[in-house]
Every structure is written in structure tokens, then in C-alpha cells.
Amino acid sequence: MFTINHIDELFEQPGKVHQLSAASHSPFEEAYLAVRKAEGRLYPDDILRQLPEVSPDHPLFGEWRIRRDTLDRMLACLRGKSRRLNILDLGCGNGWLSNRIAQNPGCRVCAVDLNREELGQGARVFADNLQLTFVYGDIFQPIFPKNSFDIVLAASSIQYFPNVAALMERLGDFAAAQGEIHIMDSPIYHETEVANAKFRTLRHYRALGFEQMAQHYFHHTWDDLKPFRYHLLYKPHRFSQRLAKYLMRKNQSPFPWIRILPKNIT
């Protein structure tokens, strides 16, 4: 484990996982990896290199079409920025999304997770991407200097944090003064939907044989986000989006895309 004074230090050794938190296998890490394996989401290197593109006969083909839609939206957003961007990808997993974003001119990505196995695979597979670095670290520890990132991205990850308010406040520490926090590919519920969502989650993990994972999966609501005066960049289920999906036969993301500015975090 080591500390850094500036994130530039993380990009000096490509192909390495930088350990910024104490090494210890947490119950979440072990349960999460077991579920990923049971769900068929641990990929061989040759498939990882191509993600989000998978063959039509892949069992998760539909899911990856949706992930491609999310990627396209994010890349379009980043291309509209006029400055060089330091980006934090929270809960990066194997780093496929981090790698794709880091291929965008002007973007440099720090991919962070508490998942050694997939971090190590990502660092190895994407070692030639010099604008990408991988970090094993707990963001609630002092692993990055404050105000280090222009974009903080939480893609399919906030559901693994118990307190979304505490998470946003912590991510606000890492975001630069003119930075942005983006939440993508995660379900956000109305209060009346939570009970049924919890039941579905428990049923899913029970069917996989990992019922204990349900206690690590959290169901955040729109009310939880109200204090941060968020802005929706993409809202699913609008009529125009349903019509586009019907006409184009395109799998669009069922999850909202939420932007929060650090100045709105108190």
C-alpha cells in the first residue's frame, strides 16, 4: 500500500494495480465475485478486449447492447468538453468501460474497485492503454488528493453502497470545483417500489445460491437524491424513447443518467 500526492503518479506504471487500501478480503468482495461467476459475468481475456461488443449468441447479448447504449451516451457527453479530463470510474470491475472512455482523446481514467481478480485482469488486458490506470482502494479512505477529478463516474455501482448521501459527499471531495458526478446504469426507485425490489433481489440471489449477497445490495430512492439538486441527462420510459426503441429495434438503457455538481453537495 502506498500514498500519492498527485494522480499523475498512478499513470507512471501501466499494467499495474496500485494498492491504495490495506489488503484484506472482505465478505462483500468474496460474495460479489462468487455471484459474478454464477451469473456468467467473469469473462476470458479475448471477450473482455471486445466489450461491450459480444456475439449475438452470447447469453448476455441483450444486456451488452444496453451497455453499449450507455457508453455511446457518455462518449458523446465527453466529446462536448473542451478541456483535458481526469476521470474516476468508481466500481470499475474488469475495466471495460474505463478502457473505452480512456480511448477518447483528452480523457485519462483512474479505474477503482475492491475486486482484486477483475482489477488484475483489466490491468493486464488493457496494459497498452497509457491513459488508463487501475487502483485497489476504498474510497472512504484517503486514497486520492481532494479535487483530483473532473468527472466522477459511478456506473452500475451505487447499489453496493448502503448510504447514497454519504457516497455523494465523499465523491464530492474527489471532484474538482468545476467537476461533475455522473450516476449511470443503476436503478433508482420510488419509495413505493422498494419493498418489491428488495423481494426480487433476494429471490435472485437465493436462486443463485448466494442469499447472503442480498445484504450487500441496496435500493436507493429518488428521495435520497433530492438534497443534491440533481439533473437528469437521460430519463428512461419517456414516450419518445419507447417510440425510438420500437422503430429502431434498439435496446436502450432502462436506467436514468444523473448528473450532480459538487456545488450542490453540502
Nearest partner of 134 among 164, 183, 68, 89, judged by Cα: 89
Distance CA 166, CA 69 (A): 29
Residue 210: per-residue pLDDT: 94
Q: Taking residues 26-42, what's their average pLDDT?
A: 90
Please report the DSSP string for 160-190 in residue order: GSS-HHHHHHHHHHHEEEEEEEEEES---B-
| CA geometry: angle 113, 114, 117, nearest 5 deg | 95
> What pTM was computed for the model?
0.93
Please report, for the chain, the start and end positions of each structural domain, with discontinuous segments joined by +: 7-264
- Polymer length in residues for the chain: 266
Residue 242: per-residue pLDDT: 52
Q: What are the pLDDT digits (tens) for 35-81?
A: 999 999 999 999 999 999 999 999 999 999 999 999 999 999 999 88
Instruction: Write out the CATH class of domain 7-264.
Output: alpha beta
Q: What are the pLDDT digits (tens) for 107-136?
A: 999 999 999 999 999 999 999 999 999 999
- pLDDT at 224 exceeding the cut of 50: yes
Residue 159: per-residue pLDDT: 97
Q: Are 40 and 59 in contact (CB under 8 A)?
A: yes
